Structure 1
């Protein structure tokens, strides 16, 4: 085995007994995956900023990861409408031109034997009118976020509270985005319901002060999320639909549910009611204990017997252990895939990984 750097050792990047689980094939939903390793969704902002169309550099970026043998690729966040945009340079999935651009990506991934789904996304209040078609951002309530728009460096705008008609329109946009993703050759979609974006804004009492049917206690606030999930499932099937959720919010990084177990139990019931079968609990720290000595993924598994994608600064040893214990079914890795297009090859061979460096890797597409 080659020498492994001290930093990589601390991250657990060792070729020690990992083949038994991480590298074995698995069927989840409609997808026959080559391994239990997923590439997590990673915002790169390399699409054309005016059209939201991905180019040949994005084609090659994903092709390399597919050629490496990753089981599942979850695309970077892909907005469902011009008003859903919250970062410069992010791709869309609402125009014919965008569909054509993504079709080149999915063709390249499939030629390499890969499976790829689109993460469909609406940022809600975490935007600025200059990004959102010169319209105010949309949100459940007219409560602005604090801070500056990521990669845009202007203060968040005061959002426009969505009417019932607006809500129905956006639900239809999620449904159409899912259909567009299939037309673009994606194998399915992940609904981005996490990290303080639109769906999560409805889910949270910080951002949702509504007094109608979309407000109230947590179970009632999840109504919008359930309707989005149902609409997407109706469009493309539950076997091609995943939902991502979390307590973490990009604009409130230290936020946590008051009662994590109660919250997770309520979310899981909502997923079941909506007909979901695959979920992606998101956390910034996979091994953080939330309640009763359990992590978020362990608490989810306590109430959910469907597919779970695990994520959150995972290293391969942690991931392998979680799979062996039955806590998760597939392990998603993020930044290691940015720095290492041959991430899986390096794991299998014991070759040293290049450590993600924000100054080196954030603004490059390799």
Structure 2
């Protein structure tokens, strides 16, 4: 008898009728053509296998919204017709297996290098370089160019167009990547945002760019097909936490409610780690948010089942175990041992 009854329960969130309360977490694989940003048959098969296994919601690896949004070699895009057409083979493969798939639309901001970002300096809210080196490229992050208000307007438009392109490619919706120290999160953070205009200041003001992107994407494809991911930690500072986590979460939730978004994806490295008042990130979010919550953070089946039972989350996103086990849900049903994730064999980058 399957002991994970909640995990295998069908659920409807937004426009998506999911077969199970599971999601495939977005994980960069760098399988795309580095020159064109188009995806291939290998990527179509990669996602098809997870849909065949019954994963409820597949969230793709980060898909960049422009050449300047790119931060790693081999990542796919969704801003040219060639890229859009190449994704159609992926969405057709997933839908043929009865799956649901959304594109995670992504701009890395300062987490890049001019040799990757179309020969131009990376874009960011302020001209402050990130710490560390570009993954799979090895060179230090460039000092970015501070975005003008016109730049901001153009990038907001690129997010909206990328969302429309995703629907044209056959995706069921999009996730806006607003987490992990990439462009939206760079605006959200006082570490990377020192602006004195309406996009800078206290946290509420720094969330202005995020709200504008959310509103534009919702207008483009509808609130029922829009999800947003957010976090405290950054790729260049995994230990980062808001000074007052509960107050920060309240401010984020207020911003989300202003835009009308109904589905959110709080991201953490450790799902069970308390961050304030003995409560975890997702428990604090649930305290202030009655909409859909996608849970993520090194989740296993048992932790997912318990969080779903408590109502802390509505869908559990599984990451690395799904790389090592394309038949993850089948193994759970049959009580079979899961293959271990091996970094050297199953190279994956946090997105």
Q: Assess same fold via TM > 0.5.
A: yes
Determine whether 1:261 maps to 2:246: yes
Please say if 1:203 is aligned against 2:188. yes
CA displacement, residues 44-96 of structure 1 (integer Å, 9 cap, x when unaligned): 00100000000010011111111111100000000000000000000000000
Q: Which residue of 1 aligns with 2:200?
A: 215
| Alignment partner of 2:159 out of 174, 177, 193 | 174
Q: TM-score, normalised by structure 1?
A: 0.94
Counterpart of 2:146 in structure 1 is 161
**SS of residue paired to 2:133:** coil
User: Any idea what the Cα deviations from partners look like across 1:290-335, whole Å, max 9, x if unmatched?
Assistant: 1111000000000000000000001111111111101000000000
The answer to whether the 8 A contact 2:2-2:333 is kept is no
- Give a deviation string over 1:222-267, Cα, whole Å, max 9, x none: 0000000000000000000000000010001111000000000000
For 2:346 and 2:199, locate their aligned partners in 1 and report how far apart those are by CA, in whole Å: 40
Change (3 A) 1:48 1:223: same
Q: Post-superposition, which runs of at least 4 consecutive aligned residues in structure 1 deviate over 3 A?
A: none
Matched position secondary structure for 1:361: coil
Tell me if the contact between 2:322 and 2:328 (Cα under 8 Å) persists in the aligned partners: yes
Aligned to 1:43: 28
Q: After TM superposition, give the deviation of residue 360 of structure 1 in Å.
A: 1.0
Correspondence 1:17 to 2:3 = yes
1:335 aligns with 2:349: no
- TM-superposed CA distance for 1:275, in Å, is 1.1
Aligned to 1:147: 132
Residue equivalent to 2:47: 62
CA distance in 2, matches of 1:155, 1:42: 22
- Deviation string 1:252-291 (CA, Å, 9 cap, x unpaired) is 1111000000000000000000111000000000001011
Q: Which residue of 2 aligns with 1:12?
A: none
C-alpha distance in structure 1 between counterparts of 2:171 and 2:50, whole Å: 15
Once the two structures are TM-superposed, the CA of residue 197 in structure 1 deviates from its matched residue by: 0.1
Q: Which residue matches 2:275?
A: 290
Structure 1 residue aligned with 2:79, among 91, 94, 102?
A: 94
Of 330, 334, 338, which residue of structure 2 is paired with 1:353?
A: 338
Q: Which residue of 2 aligns with 1:280?
A: 265
C-alpha contact (below 8 Å) 2:33/2:76 kept by paired residues: yes
Instruction: Say whether the 8 Å CA contact 2:32–2:76 is kept in structure 1.
Output: yes
Query: Aligned-residue CA RMSD in angstroms?
Result: 0.8
Measure, in 1, the Cα distance between the counterparts of 2:132 and 2:46: 31
Please list every run of 5 or more consecutive structure 1 residues that lacks an aligned counterpart in the other structure. Answer: 1-14
Q: CA deviation at 1:17?
A: 2.0
Deviation at 1:351, TM superposition (A): 0.7
Q: Deviations over 1:177-207 (max 9, x none)?
A: 0000000000000000000000000000000
- Please, which runs of 5 or more residues in structure 2 have no aligned partner? none
Q: Per-residue deviation at 1:146? A: 1.4
Work out the CA distance in 2 between the residues paired with 1:17 and 1:261. Answer: 34
